Structure 1
Amino acid sequence: MSEAPWLTIIGLGEDGLKGLSAASRTALEAAEIVIGPSRHLALIGDMPCETRAWPVPFSDGIAPLLDLQGRQVVVFASGDPFWFGAGGTLARHLAPEEWQSLPGPSSFSLAANVLGWSLEQVTCHGLHAAPLTRLRPYLAPDSRIIVLLRDGAAVPELAVYLSDEGFGQSEMIVLEALGGSRERVTRVRADALQTGGFDHPVCVAVQVAGEGSALPLASGRPDAWFDADGQITKQPVRAMTLAALAPQRHELLWDIGGGSGSIAIEWLLAHPTCEAISFERRADRAARISANATRLGVDRLSVVEGGAPHALEAQAKPQAVFIGGGLSADLLHWLERHLEPGTRLVANAVTLETESLLLQAQQRRGGSLTRLELSAAEPLGSKRGWKSSYPIVQWSACL
């Protein structure tokens, strides 16, 4: 018979010990040490065992916790520890047999039951330590969002953000201390919320409304979404490039010669598990890429300032690579030598010299060559005519 785990993670609600399950009570009675945020320790009152406040920042508490292995320890977390909670972080440091989790109702579940919202039709976000811009891809009329915020002061900040993005008509339902004696529900329009006065813990449900622009779901978003100095893969070419790159869940992209970051950003928008590194040699463009990524809700984009191939050497190996700038024979040969077999590679060429490089690469490594010729209607005297852009040759290959 296997030994009981030494660590128990208990999801604690705002009603303190009253809401605990029988299993949680049993674990708590057997505990030698109870650890939790000061707020949780205040909810449970005096304990017969030792209690310790979890330090801030959260990471400072990991090593002292691991030193307690062999003793019976309870760690308090809010609600469901594995939904935007501490559970996932703790589990990464422990073997499966070392811990157990006894969850309580999550803030999202409590909020949905107050509002009558079906959770499967709601997007849920934990923004305790993340920027409000993470919401940008989800802001569209009639969308429903539930957001966990760091404290009461973040509520008016959310209202300002929604208003600035053109969604000031959204209804905000502010839910404080759900499930406890201090529970309070406040309904207000985002553009009418003037002051704070909200207490932690707090979450906000948003029924999105307004005239703001919704970020399109398909690849090839309009160029206007990206701040650029002219160095950008234009919308139609970007759509075809993303189609060739074919983002998949949990994949990493190298975006070489990031420019405005549009390719990497759209890769990240494809799915929350996608990752990307954008390489850009110019400092001003690297800063612009980071700003674009943050504004469009994908601040997880990693931006490396430096030229390829030198800047690529210490990075995690990707599943897909796009070369949007700095295409050279040396770079192609370096990638062929260092990338893992099966890596997808897409490169776009505009000049005759870089087009020649892609022709040689296709002869050497196979793959497909596509010539993209685009024209747009523009004024021609009193009428209109077609104005052609420079043709682009795209090489797509699986190495």
Structure 2
Amino acid sequence: MVKKWLSIVGIGEDGLEGLNNIALSLINHAEIIVGGSRHLSMLRKDDLREKLTWKSPIDTSITEILQHQGKSICVLASGNPMCYGIGNTILRHIDISEITIIPAPSTFSLICARLGWSLTEVETLSLCGRSPALLQSYIYRGAKLLILSEGKNTPKMVADILTKRGFGGSKITVLERMGGIQERLIKGIAATWEDMEIADLNAIAVDCIPDPGMTGFSRLPGLPDNAYHHDGQLTKREVRAVTLSTLAPKPGELLWDIGAGCGSISIEWMRSHSRCRAIAIEQSASRLQYIANNATALGTPNLQIINGTSPAALKDLHQPNAIFIGGGVTSEGLFDICWDILPIGGRLVANVVTIEGEQKLFAWRDQIGGELIRIAIQRAEPIGKFSGWRAIAPVTQWVVIKNSQFPNYTQNG
């Protein structure tokens, strides 16, 4: 059996006194103690054991821990180490078979206990070391949000984001030092929230209430076209919804969005689930700025943006689970690279509006198979005093799933 040489003990605001006997035993018998300055200060003043304080970047400290592998080491953490905590980071480097984890109640559990909210019916996110723009994709009518705060300025920042999104009536509760004798709750409304003295150690609960006429965006594909800043290079709402349904995003998957335009496909791919990832490849400098602005405004600030021309820009990118080609279909060698990199079960979707683009898709379909679809949309628009149908340029779409029959096809093979 593998020896468990590393323990991770979660500690609440009540300190070591709040720990059970197992947790205390792991701390007392450890040769080396690891933690932040706040956690290490909880130990006795005459504790002479070796202590390691977290360094930045955190991987530096993980390397230091591994250098002591074999010794008994205890990591002190806040709350539940596996809830946006250090446990997740450590497990990327050390197998669970070598670790014992003793959690304390998480911040989210404590908030729900204080406010009477069901933990299974809330949205949870952390803004510690993360872009505040992540909050944008969580805002909708009736949402109950639990937010791990970056510090004392985070509540005001959250209130400002809510107000600008048309959710100024949202109820905000800031919870300080939960579980300790200095615990405090501060309540207010987003639109009238004022700067005040707030402890750095705080969390935020939000009951999202929209202003009259506001509802927030759905996480399903097909956001309104006016949700995006663009120069006309935009996959229209109806076509976008069809395209995302054929790309079929799943949690944890990666999309290549080639010829991304204003980024609508990759942004809505990522909005479908917090673990979905995407890379937007675009050569136009002005459109790259549109992508960055749209990603921030719509809650996907972690969208990776590549400035370059395909297929050259695709070199050394992580293997995707799905590829969308919205521009550059006629580029020499593009399909070969995309098809070769896709894993078995990977999806490839290409949209074109030109005859030359269609010819490429016909050729690829003849070699590989897949499905060709013509998407034609008409919208009612005013014609004088009356209304009439105005057609949007029809889109030809090719959809193919890589299977074992043609795993390594190239146009030359």
Do the aligned partners of residues 338 and 107 (structure 1) sit closer, same or farther apart at CA in structure 2, a change above 3 Å counting? Answer: closer
The answer to whether residue 350 in structure 2 is matched with residue 351 in structure 1 is no
Query: Equivalents in 2 of 1:160, 1:335: separation in Å?
Result: 42
Partner in structure 1 of residue 382 of structure 2: 379
Do the aligned partners of residues 133 and 173 (structure 1) sit closer, same or farther apart at CA in structure 2, a change above 3 Å counting? Answer: same
Partner in structure 1 of residue 37 of structure 2: 38
Q: Secondary structure at the match of 2:26?
A: helix
The answer to whether residue 266 in structure 2 is matched with residue 258 in structure 1 is no
Q: Is the 8 A contact 1:329 1:357 kept in 2?
A: no
RMSD of aligned alpha carbons: 1.7
Q: Is the 8 A contact 2:228 2:262 kept in 1?
A: yes
After TM superposition, give the deviation of residue 239 of structure 1 in Å: 0.8
Partner in structure 1 of residue 275 of structure 2: 273
Partner in structure 2 of residue 397 of structure 1: 400
Q: Secondary structure at the match of 2:41?
A: helix
Query: Equivalents in 1 of 2:142, 2:131: separation in Å?
Result: 22
Q: Secondary structure at the match of 1:254?
A: strand
* Residues 246-280 of structure 1 deviation map (CA, whole Å, 9 limit, x = unaligned): 11222211110000110011111112222111111
Return the letter of the residue paired with 1:378: E
Q: Secondary structure at the match of 1:250?
A: coil
Q: Map of 1:1-399 to 2, 5 A cutoff?
A: 2=1, 4-46=3-45, 47-211=47-211, 212-328=214-330, 330=332, 331-399=334-402
Q: Is the 8 A contact 1:175 1:203 kept in 2?
A: yes
Return the letter of the residue paired with 2:103: P
Query: Equivalents in 2 of 1:328, 1:135: separation in Å?
Result: 38
Q: Is the 8 A contact 2:311 2:331 kept in 1?
A: no
Query: Equivalents in 1 of 2:68, 2:152: separation in Å?
Result: 34
Structure 1 residue runs of 5 or longer lacking an equivalent are none
Query: Equivalents in 2 of 1:3, 1:210: separation in Å?
Result: 54
Q: Secondary structure at the match of 1:51?
A: strand
Q: Is the 8 A contact 2:321 2:347 kept in 1?
A: yes
Return the letter of the residue paired with 2:210: G
After TM superposition, give the deviation of residue 3 of structure 1 in Å: 6.0
Q: Is the 8 A contact 2:141 2:215 kept in 1?
A: no
Do the aligned partners of residues 40 and 337 (structure 1) sit closer, same or farther apart at CA in structure 2, a change above 3 Å counting? Answer: closer
* Residues 128-169 of structure 1 deviation map (CA, whole Å, 9 limit, x = unaligned): 111222122221222111101111122212222221222121
Query: Equivalents in 1 of 2:3, 2:305: separation in Å?
Result: 45
Q: Identify which range, 243-252 or 37-46, moves more after superposition.
A: 37-46
Q: Is the 8 A contact 2:255 2:278 kept in 1?
A: yes
Query: Equivalents in 1 of 2:104, 2:153: separation in Å?
Result: 26
* Residues 296-335 of structure 1 deviation map (CA, whole Å, 9 limit, x = unaligned): 1112211111111111121122121111011116222443
Q: Secondary structure at the match of 1:104?
A: coil
Partner in structure 1 of residue 411 of structure 2: none
After TM superposition, give the deviation of residue 123 of structure 1 in Å: 0.9
Q: Secondary structure at the match of 2:173?
A: strand
Q: Is the 8 A contact 2:324 2:350 kept in 1?
A: yes
* Residues 325-371 of structure 1 deviation map (CA, whole Å, 9 limit, x = unaligned): 11116222443344334321111111111111112221221111111
Query: Equivalents in 2 of 1:341, 1:31: separation in Å?
Result: 47
Q: Is the 8 A contact 1:14 1:43 kept in 2?
A: no
Q: Percent identity?
A: 38
Query: Equivalents in 2 of 1:57, 1:108: separation in Å?
Result: 26
The count of aligned residue pairs is 398
Q: Identify which range, 81-90 or 149-158, moves more after superposition.
A: 149-158
Q: Is the 8 A contact 1:15 1:43 kept in 2?
A: no
Q: Secondary structure at the match of 2:152?
A: coil
After TM superposition, give the deviation of residue 120 of structure 1 in Å: 0.3
Q: Is the 8 A contact 2:219 2:268 kept in 1?
A: no
After TM superposition, give the deviation of residue 210 of structure 1 in Å: 2.5
Q: Secondary structure at the match of 1:266?
A: helix
Q: Is the 8 A contact 2:270 2:277 kept in 1?
A: yes
Q: Secondary structure at the match of 1:43?
A: coil
Return the letter of the residue paired with 1:153: N
* Residues 34-66 of structure 1 deviation map (CA, whole Å, 9 limit, x = unaligned): 121111222344235233322244333222222
After TM superposition, give the deviation of residue 217 of structure 1 in Å: 2.9
Q: Is the 8 A contact 2:4 2:100 kept in 1?
A: yes
Query: Equivalents in 1 of 2:117, 2:367: separation in Å?
Result: 57
Q: Identify which range, 73-82 or 310-319, moves more after superposition.
A: 310-319
